[in-house]
Amino acid sequence: MNEYRCLFCRGPRDVPLRFRTLLAPVHPPGLCRLCLEKMAPIDRKACCLVCGRDLRQLKLEFIRHNICNDCMRWKKSGRGRLFGRNRSIFSYNKMMKEMMTAFKFRGDALLAEAFRKDFRDAYRQMIGIDPKGLWNRMRRGRWLFPNERYVVVPIPLTRERFIKRGFNQSAVLAELLGEPIIEALSRAGSQKKQSKKNRRERLLPGRNPFALNPRAASAIAGRRVLLIDDIYTTGATLRLACDTLEAAGPDRVDALTLAHG
Amino acid sequence: MLLSGKNGIQSAFDEELQHFLYGKECLLDELPFSRELIKKHVRLGMITLRLGVETIEKGIVPIQIGSKKWVCRRCGNTDPGEFGTVSCSQCRKRCVYCRHCLNMGVVRSCSRLATWSGPEPIREERPWRDAKRICTWEGTLSDQQKMAADRLDQSLSSGQSFLIWAVCGSGKTEIVFPAVEHALRRGERVVLATPRTDVVRELYPRFQNAFPKVPVSALHAGSENQVPDAPLVISTAHQLIRFSHYFDRVFIDEVDAFPYHFDPMLEYAVRKAAKEGAPFAFLTATPPPNLKNAYLSGRLNGVKIARRFHGHPLPEPKAWWIGNWKKSMKQGIVPQSFMKWVKQKSSHQVQLFIFVSSVSLLRELTELLQREGLGHVAGVHAEDPDRHAKVAFFREGKIRILVTTTILERGVTVPGAEAAVFGADDPIFNESALVQIAGRVGRSERRPNGEVILFHNGRTLEMVRAQRHIKQMNEEGGL
């Protein structure tokens, strides 16, 4: 793997020279500075507590107590009751759109490697084993017991699309975490693509395309589940998946997505 | 009995499939035919399948340490950084895929590439073949051009490759016409491959005018002039990847152009598109070292044309020092002597090409020139959405000064235009690029002279070589 070239634009990539990189035999592949500058990472201090949206891009009248208007409406609708929170790493801007096209539709699965570090960091932060979480726990005097680990469940594709695309992008992202993956869900039928629907169509409470894999039910019961998906748009997909998982009795369901938009 | 057997086979295959696949190499999943039909043809031996990505094992050490090297059979990519692995839905294993040719559909190590190995399709009637003259180009070739054209045709007809080493503006395109005509008359398939979309767009109408009765197909990204089964194809090298063992004669224009010898995929594509043993004709003003050596040592047939068609010498580039242009651009100042030259030229109503090394520099310089009150200044680069429109405006004279990156260094002919290179000491301007840029000037018979100025901050070896190259060519041309 040529780590000196950008994964996306193939341009030269300046790996900053530090002691760690100087002595490392290989560097992890990644993006160049120019590509990184075009991305819009979401600050986790300024995001919606439920859906992880970047609140700085939202007008003030849509925010209440650090929760965006959409999430309020979800709460009132009563769907996805177990759904705790979603964390996204980037906002879905033009660059992210191009990335997603290359990653999902053109099939360049290697691009996921560019987000390995960010994805893992976000996960560590969610389960509280990042340095800051450790410090917080130490202050509270219970630094031995971090949060319980998640059961990682990628959002599946329908069978036809899986065959056609050749891989499941959510599973590829889930693999980055290095945790055991449980394929607890399956997706049925020939549905219109989520990405081809408009907001109204997405939010309509239609038939739930997800089904629970009965063999995985025991692994979920009483545990915290982390759903992995590529994009959080309206939250409909994740909440439908969450409703399906409810039958297996998880403790709560959170989500980690690459982009929010 | 032999006859009936033959007929049996003839009726056994699907003609539509044959027409679709003949001379091409496609992924099995891309074929718009049913699985059963394809399977049947594979069993009959009409379709050959091969793996999309294969491992190549070289030497003992890589095997010992377990590092593998792959090769993509579609684009010929062997760069280990350009392969990725993914858990594949079809083979349920970790699967290698080629990242280099992704935009034509992903090639995985479990996918198969299909080529047609059955009989050649019977081609439709081609009434133009019987015409007395296929080529209706009215112009006349100079003695030198005529000699080159004859030798080119002879060499290609006997199946040998040929190099035409001709200075810019010596009428390379016209030299090709007799050889193309001969090939067409023999019912061969001819391709003219060039490295750039702009060149395809420029050559297409010229060939269409010269061969009015022959269906000509122009292939480049987003082209609209595609004719299926056309005997004459003008294409960018990228578009040839889909072809396999299809063309009888290959003309490669501007062999040395930037993407061509920087990206080995394009050479692979052109080689694959040609039939086995098909002769190549290389056309260039600045041959790359391997061709130059082959020609000079006599391994490759060829001819050198050192004179432009109008008999005037190539303009020799002059080098002007403008100090630290990077610094002054940063401060938003255009160097004095450069500005003076541009103003003087524009007051004489001369159209100008200004070549720069990067897109960011292009934007800055265009803006500064516009701010100086010089009208009709435009900048054009490869990703510019209005690129083709701007070039067309420049040809018509609506744009007087065109600031451009090296994309326009070849193939674009604007009579009476003069050229400057801003920041000629940048490593992107090598000998061949500078020679090509000098070749943009003095293209027409009416205005055969013009200035080429290299504005620099320190003369580079490449600049000196380019000047020497042009001087030598002019001397050889007896000027």
Q: Which of A141-150, B102-111, B217-226 has the lowest mean pLDDT?
A: A141-150
- CA distance, residue A163 to nearest chain B CA (Å): 6
Mean pLDDT of A242-257: 89
Is residue B53 pLDDT above 80, yes or no?
yes
- CA distance, residue B108 to nearest chain A CA (Å): 9
Q: Residue B332 contacts by C-beta under 8 Å, 6 or more apart in sequence?
A: B364, B368
Cα(A124)–Cα(A120) distance, rounded to whole angstroms? 6
Which strand (E) or helix (H) includes residue B44? helix B35-44
pLDDT tier at A1, thresholds 50, 70, 90: very low
Instruction: Tell whether A124 and A27 lie within a shared domain.
Output: no
For residue B388, how many other CB atoms are within 10 A of its CB? 14
Instruction: Tell whether A1 and A112 lie within a shared domain.
Output: no
Is A56 strand, coil or helix? helix
If we measure between CA atoms, which residue out of B451, B422, B430 comes closest to residue B358? B422
- CA distance, residue B81 to nearest chain A CA (Å): 4
In a domain, A45, yes or no: no
Instruction: Tell whether A148 and A225 lie within a shared domain.
Output: yes
Instruction: Determine contact, residues B75/B103, Cβ cutoff 8 Å.
Output: no
Residue ranges and CATH numbers for the domains of chain B are 11-116 (no CATH), 141-305 (3.40.50.300), 318-476 (3.40.50.300)
pLDDT for B261? 54
Instruction: Tell whether A129 and A196 lie within a shared domain.
Output: yes
Among chain A residues, CA nearest to B67:
A1
The two structure tokens encoding residue A130: 């990042």
A-interface mutation test, from B89, B91, B96, B358, most A Cβ less than 10 A away: B89
If we measure between CA atoms, which residue out of A25, A30, A24, A41 comes closest to residue A4? A30
pLDDT tier at B41, thresholds 50, 70, 90: confident
Is residue B258 pLDDT above 70, yes or no?
no
Instruction: Determine contact, residues B389/B379, Cβ cutoff 8 Å.
Output: no
- The minimal CB distance from A166 to the residues B79, B81, B89 is found for B89
Percent of chain B exceeding pLDDT 90 equals 14
Most confidently predicted of A24-33, A62-71, B449-458: B449-458
pLDDT tier at A205, thresholds 50, 70, 90: low
For residue B309, how many other CB atoms are within 10 A of its CB? 22
- Ordered alpha helix ranges (H), B258-396: 258-262, 264-273, 289-296, 325-330, 336-347, 359-371, 387-396
Interface contact A167-B80, CB threshold 8 A = no
- Ordered alpha helix ranges (H), chain A: 19-23, 33-38, 69-77, 94-100, 116-127, 131-140, 159-165, 169-175, 199-203, 217-220, 236-245
Is B110 strand, coil or helix? coil
If we measure between CA atoms, which residue out of B193, B251, B166 comes closest to residue B435? B166
User: What does pLDDT average to over chain A?
Assistant: 84
pLDDT tier at B85, thresholds 50, 70, 90: confident
The radius of gyration of chain B's CA atoms, rounded to the nearest angstrom, is 25
In a domain, A61, yes or no: no
- CA distance, residue A67 to nearest chain B CA (Å): 37
Interface contact A109-B86, CB threshold 8 A = yes
Residue A187 domain boundaries: 80-260
pLDDT for B66? 60
pLDDT for B419? 92
In a domain, A54, yes or no: no
User: How confident is the model over B345-389, as pLDDT tens digits?
Assistant: 888 888 899 999 988 899 999 999 888 877 788 898 887 888 888
pLDDT for B375? 73
Mean pLDDT of A181-205: 76
Cα(B392)–Cα(B381) distance, rounded to whole angstroms? 14
Interface contact A166-B80, CB threshold 8 A = no
Cα(A179)–Cα(A151) distance, rounded to whole angstroms? 8
Give the pairing of strands B318-321 and B69-72.
Answer: unpaired
Task: For chain B, count helices (H), then strands (E).
Answer: 16, 20
Q: Which is it for the CA torsion B249, B251, B255, B258, positive or negative?
A: negative
In a domain, A57, yes or no: no
Instruction: Determine contact, residues B114/B26, Cβ cutoff 8 Å.
Output: yes
Instruction: Determine contact, residues B229/B210, Cβ cutoff 8 Å.
Output: no
Instruction: Tell whether A13 and A86 lie within a shared domain.
Output: no
pLDDT for A145? 63
Cα(B11)–Cα(B172) distance, rounded to whole angstroms? 46
Q: In chain B, which residues have their Cβ closer than 8 Å to the Cβ of A109?
A: 84-86, 97
Interface contact A107-B97, CB threshold 8 A = yes
- The minimal CB distance from B89 to the residues A1, A102, A163 is found for A163
- CA distance, residue B106 to nearest chain A CA (Å): 6
In a domain, A109, yes or no: yes
Instruction: Tell whether A18 and A112 lie within a shared domain.
Output: no
If we measure between CA atoms, which residue out of B413, B402, B412 comes closest to residue B352? B402
pLDDT for B63? 58
Give the pairing of strands B418-422 and B301-305.
Answer: unpaired
- The minimal CB distance from A166 to the residues B80, B88, B103 is found for B88
Is residue A149 pLDDT above 50, yes or no?
yes
- The backbone torsions φ and ψ at residue A234, rounded to the nearest 5 degrees and listed phi first, read -105, -15
For residue B56, how many other CB atoms are within 10 A of its CB? 10
If we measure between CA atoms, which residue out of A91, A92, A74 comes closest to residue A83? A74
Which strand (E) or helix (H) includes residue B178? helix B172-185
Cα(B3)–Cα(A18) distance, rounded to whole angstroms? 77
User: What does pLDDT average to over chain B?
Assistant: 84
For residue A247, how many other CB atoms are within 10 A of its CB? 12
pLDDT for B6? 44
The radius of gyration of chain A's CA atoms, rounded to the nearest angstrom, is 19
Instruction: Tell whether A138 and A240 lie within a shared domain.
Output: yes
In a domain, A166, yes or no: yes
Instruction: Determine contact, residues B179/B281, Cβ cutoff 8 Å.
Output: yes
Percent of chain B exceeding pLDDT 70 equals 92
Instruction: Determine contact, residues B134/B181, Cβ cutoff 8 Å.
Output: yes
Instruction: Tell whether A161 and A252 lie within a shared domain.
Output: yes
pLDDT for A226? 92
Q: Does B347 touch chain A (CB under 8 A)?
A: no
- The minimal CB distance from A167 to the residues B80, B86, B103 is found for B86
pLDDT tier at A87, thresholds 50, 70, 90: very high
Q: Does B8 touch chain A (CB under 8 A)?
A: no
pLDDT for A154? 93
Is residue A82 pLDDT above 50, yes or no?
yes
Cα(B457)–Cα(A25) distance, rounded to whole angstroms? 39
- Residue B280 carries which side chain, given as an amino acid letter? F
In a domain, A58, yes or no: no
pLDDT for B1? 37
- The minimal CB distance from B102 to the residues A5, A106, A175 is found for A106
User: How confident is the model over A13-52, as pLDDT tens digits?
Assistant: 877 778 877 777 777 888 888 888 889 999 888 888 888 8
Q: Does B259 touch chain A (CB under 8 A)?
A: no
Instruction: Determine contact, residues A254/A222, Cβ cutoff 8 Å.
Output: no
Q: In chain B, which residues have their Cβ closer than 8 Å to the Cβ of A102?
A: 102
Instruction: Determine contact, residues B301/B163, Cβ cutoff 8 Å.
Output: yes
In a domain, A192, yes or no: yes
What is the length of chain A? 261
Instruction: Tell whether A107 and A10 lie within a shared domain.
Output: no
Q: Does A106 touch chain B (CB under 8 A)?
A: yes
Q: Which DSSP symbol is given to A105?
A: I
pLDDT tier at B460, thresholds 50, 70, 90: very high
Instruction: Determine contact, residues A21/A44, Cβ cutoff 8 Å.
Output: no
Among chain B residues, CA nearest to A10:
B82
pLDDT tier at A138, thresholds 50, 70, 90: confident
Burial of A58 (0-12, 13-18, 19+ CB in 10 A): middle
If we measure between CA atoms, which residue out of B359, B406, B396, B403 comes closest to residue B378? B403
Instruction: Tell whether A113 and A32 lie within a shared domain.
Output: no
User: How confident is the model over B131-161, as pLDDT tens digits?
Assistant: 777 777 777 788 888 888 899 999 988 888 9
A-interface mutation test, from B68, B90, B99, most A Cβ less than 10 A away: B99
Is residue B232 pLDDT above 80, yes or no?
yes
Domain count, chain A: 2
Mean pLDDT of B403-416: 80
Among chain B residues, CA nearest to A162:
B89
User: Which residues 108-127 of A have a C-beta within 8 angstroms of B?
Assistant: 108-110
For residue A109, the domain's CATH number is 3.40.50
- Residue A185 carries which side chain, given as an amino acid letter? L
Instruction: Tell whether A100 and A206 lie within a shared domain.
Output: yes
- CA distance, residue A228 to nearest chain B CA (Å): 17
Distances (CA, A) of B291 to A46, B302, B310, B389: 61, 10, 27, 35
Instruction: Tell whether A99 and A159 lie within a shared domain.
Output: yes
